[in-house]
């Protein structure tokens, strides 16, 4: 069963607003302190009321949880901590009944070292899955086959005495990289994707998909030119040119798209991060045989929201008329945007300004759970950390746990209504004060404005589907036009901390949305105005 067809015959995903749910932290239904599928199902009415088009679920598959589900031990089952396949089927049925589509992660670049594929592959060099992972002999001096470094720190190679070889792991040692150059591996991955398509999912986010194919020659990566950017990991000292993004990846991506096309109306989005990612993003989303879109990282680690940042993100896609971008300001891997972009006193105003900007950009919108509440980054002690990257790099890398704390539902309830037991991560008091029930019936709340801005986007084709023309990106003022057919909309943002004025634009314009006290054409600090051509 799939959700209802898109209105007007348009592709439902184009310009869609997709709500990102991190299952461990959304809602706990059984009192064990960990969110689960049944908890998500129970709160889908809240998500639907936001006005979004779909949900994206981070991994809920069987896993030893070394990387909290991104180390998959069984692609075709639900980890018991999250529930059962029946729970998943009920979630999909409920979501579709509410008009929500369901997107799930597919982790095609690596598995857990507990996956039976890897257990067999490492047993010797002649077993049926011997070439399912990336194995290589040591150099004559016993050192790793190349200089590649892992995302989580240290060499991207681990020695395995069973085979007398190294295996590649671009992430944790417990996350061996699949050899996706191998057609049998591709077939197995596509079979797992088909399993979920048959259960009614509406699409896939392909996690770290550029890491799915490496240079088979194992060429060393070149060093990175020294600049002002911090170097907190060995990875930061080199350009990752050869351990990911191999040209053969395109043919596999086309196989993924061909599979989803068999089911009609399905959606695919790539996660491709790192500096200079746009060329790979465009390559994997060109035409109608590859992925629909790619998930941009332009805003996720930026320390300030400026017109220059927005201009750079938009210009990176200006030469790609046949591709469609996707944007996110926060997610489960990055510190929450409101804490990166605003002083505590300005967080409420900044949260609303950022929401309106996100929802007026051309492309798809990914909204992370709690972003609609204006949640700041949680400040955790070392003892509270669970993220292996944060623990290994303390105190320099703090992002992921502080963005993954439980969703606050009820301000006065124990653990903010997330669970009846102590949660796996603490619920900060400042989050409880911003809980859903504290904002739900307040017309001036961030939650109310999020609903209003999503409705604005859904109501105006120019905002959802239309083209975009950048008019101004000064030190503080951002101004652009969205258009679709005869509909034209002017979007003006003052991202600065002092009042700004703009010259009245040519023509007749009628304001339809204003925040922060903006009027035509005076904009107080942290304010915005949306107007339509009269």
Residues annotated catalytic, as ranges: 207, 271
Per-residue HEC secondary structure of 456-510 comes to HHHHCHHHHCCEEEEEEECCCEEEEEEEECCEEEEEEEECCCCCEECCCCCCCEE
Residue 293 CA to residue 14 CA, distance in Å, equals 9
What phi and psi values does residue 57 have, to the nearest 5 degrees?
Answer: -100, 125
DSSP string, 170-185: SS-TTSPBB-TTSHHH
Residue 63 CA to residue 71 CA, distance in Å, equals 6
First-to-last C-alpha distance (Å) of the chain: 42
Residue 409 CA to residue 318 CA, distance in Å, equals 40
214 three-class SS:
coil
Q: Computed from CA positions of residues 449, 450, 453, 454, in that sequence, does the dihedral angle turn out positive or negative?
A: negative
Residue 294 CA to residue 43 CA, distance in Å, equals 28
Q: Which helix (H) or strand (E) holds 101?
A: strand 101-106
Cβ neighbour number for residue 348 with a 10 Å cutoff = 19
**DSSP secondary structure code for residue 219 in this structure:** P
Cα 178 from chain centre: 22
Residue 488 CA to residue 466 CA, distance in Å, equals 9
Residue whose C-alpha is closest to residue 13's, from 514, 465, 463, 500: 465
Contacts of residue 332, defined as CB under 8 A and 6 or more positions apart, other chains included, come to 20, 22, 58, 368, 400, 403, 404
Query: What token pair was written down for 169?
Result: 């792991």
Q: How far is CA 64 from CA 74, 202, 376, in A?
A: 10, 26, 29
Residue whose C-alpha is closest to residue 272's, from 282, 262, 260, 259: 282
- Looking at the DSSP bridge assignments, the partners of residue 258 are none
Name residue, tokens 């609303």: 352
Residue whose C-alpha is closest to residue 419's, from 20, 24, 111: 24
Q: Which helix (H) or strand (E) holds 78?
A: strand 74-78
Largest CA distance in the chain: 75
Are the C-beta atoms of residues 396 and 402 closer than 8 Å to each other?
A: no
DSSP string, 303-360: SS--HHHHHHHHHTTTT-TT--EEEES--TTS--HHHHH--GGGHHHHHHHHHHHHTT
For the chain, how big is the Rg over CA atoms in Å?
23
């Amino acid at each position: 069963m799939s959700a209802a067809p898109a209105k007007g015959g348009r592709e439902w995903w184009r310009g869609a607003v997709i709500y990102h749910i991190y299952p461990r932290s959304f809602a706990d239904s059984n009192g064990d302190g960990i969110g689960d599928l049944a908890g998500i199902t129970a709160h889908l009415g809240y998500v639907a009321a936001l006005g979004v088009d779909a949900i994206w679920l981070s991994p809920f598959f069987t896993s030893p949880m070394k990387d909290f589900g991104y180390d998959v031990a069984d692609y075709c089952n639900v980890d018991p901590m999250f529930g059962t396949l029946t729970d998943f089927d009920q979630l999909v049925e409920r979501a579709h009944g509410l008009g929500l589509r369901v997107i799930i992660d597919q982790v095609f670049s690596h598995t857990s070292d507990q996956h039976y594929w890897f257990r067999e592959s490492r047993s010797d060099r002649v077993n049926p899955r011997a070439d399912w992972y990336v194995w290589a002999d040591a150099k004559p001096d016993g050192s790793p086959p190349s200089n590649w470094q892992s995302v989580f720190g240290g060499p991207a190679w681990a020695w395995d005495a069973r085979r007398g070889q190294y295996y590649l792991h671009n992430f944790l040692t417990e996350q061996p990289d699949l050899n996706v150059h191998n057609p049998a591996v591709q077939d197995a991955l596509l079979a797992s994707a088909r399993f979920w398509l048959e259960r009614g999912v509406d699409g896939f986010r392909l996690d770290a998909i550029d890491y799915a194919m490496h240079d088979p020659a194992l060429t060393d990566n070149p060093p990175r030119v020294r600049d002002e950017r911090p170097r907190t990991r060995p990875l930061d000292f080199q350009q990752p040119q050869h351990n990911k993004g191999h040209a053969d990846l395109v043919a596999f991506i086309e196989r993924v798209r061909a599979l989803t096309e068999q089911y009609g109306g399905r959606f695919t989005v790539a996660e491709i991060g790192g500096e200079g990612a746009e060329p790979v993003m465009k390559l994997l989303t060109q035409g109608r045989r590859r992925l629909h879109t790619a998930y941009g990282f332009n805003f996720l680690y930026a320390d300030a929201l400026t017109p220059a940042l927005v201009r750079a993100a938009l210009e990176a896609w200006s030469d790609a008329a046949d591709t469609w971008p996707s944007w996110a300001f926060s997610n489960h891997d990055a510190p929450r945007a409101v804490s990166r972009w605003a002083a505590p006193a300005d967080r409420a105003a900044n949260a609303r300004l950022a929401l309106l900007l996100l929802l007026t950009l051309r492309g798809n919108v990914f909204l992370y759970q709690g972003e609609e509440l204006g949640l700041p980054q949680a400040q955790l002690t070392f003892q509270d950390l669970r993220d292996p990257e944060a623990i290994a790099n303390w105190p320099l890398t703090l992002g992921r746990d502080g963005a993954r704390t439980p969703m606050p539902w009820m301000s006065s309830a124990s653990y903010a209504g997330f669970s009846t037991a102590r949660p796996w991560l603490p619920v900060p008091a400042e989050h409880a004060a911003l809980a859903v029930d504290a904002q739900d019936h307040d017309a001036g709340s961030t939650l109310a404005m999020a609903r209003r801005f999503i409705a604005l986007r859904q109501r105006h084709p120019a905002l959802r589907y239309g083209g975009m023309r950048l008019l101004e990106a000064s030190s503080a003022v951002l101004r652009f036009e969205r258009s679709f057919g005869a509909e034209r909309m002017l979007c003006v943002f003052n991202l600065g901390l002092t009042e700004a004025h703009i010259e009245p634009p040519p023509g007749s314009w009628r304001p339809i949305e204003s925040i922060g006290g903006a009027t035509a054409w005076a904009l107080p600090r942290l304010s915005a105005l949306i107007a339509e051509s009269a």
